[in-house]
A and B are shown apart, each in its own frame.
Chain A
């Protein structure tokens, strides 16, 4: 099984629908992230969480919300999907050993491709 699992892998939905993307990890990492990837724009951070009680906005959080249900689970919600939220979404994890080195190495899931019509 993958260390970081994202569901669903692909989803097509309509404008205005509520969508939830789920992420679970078996790495035992305390930090979890949601990114979106668009062609030519690279990875942009939506939300991140350093532990269950610590949730922070990233650079593009508008229109998104998150829930950290447990150390191993971090879900991303689009309350009312719009077409410009069509993108590839990645969940990632890292652990606090990065705080000793400063490198903050991320482990990514395989991605969730979302299409909003």
Chain B
């Protein structure tokens, strides 16, 4: 079993929908939970990160961590075609990052 599980998708939704992307993990030592966005033919770029449990909001994006369930989520409100990308979750407990496989998201105009 992988330390971090993430559905590879693709996930296809209409423009304007609320998108929910998720990862589960097994290592309770993880303290930092990150979401990276990767456009086609580009490197991943940090979208946002959260320390421990709770929510963090940045514009249309909300990251949520539930440590009791070992489950993290990224919500995208009012999704736009420009949000079409692969979203990777990553987690760390001691500076080493463990990555999910990434979920490919397609927003249809």
Contacts and interface: CB of A to CB of B under 8 A. Distances in A.
A111 B95 contact: no
B44 A102 contact: no
Interface in B1-59: 6, 8, 31-32, 34, 41-46, 49, 51
A41 B101 contact: yes
23 contacts: A4-B43, A42-B99, A42-B102, A43-B44, A43-B88, A98-B95, A101-B51, A102-B92, A103-B32, A103-B34, A103-B49, A103-B51, A104-B32, A104-B95, A104-B97, A105-B49, A107-B45, A107-B46, A108-B43, A109-B43, A110-B43, A111-B41, A111-B42
Nearest to A94: B95
Interface of A: 4, 39-45, 90, 92, 98-99, 101-111
Given A42-B99, A103-B34, 14 more contacts: A40-B8, A42-B101, A43-B99, A45-B97, A92-B43, A99-B95, A101-B51, A102-B31, A102-B32, A102-B93, A103-B32, A103-B49, A106-B46, A111-B43
Contacts of A43: 44, 88, 99
Contact of B88 (A42, A45, A102, A107): A42
A103 B43 contact: no
A46 B7 CA distance: 23
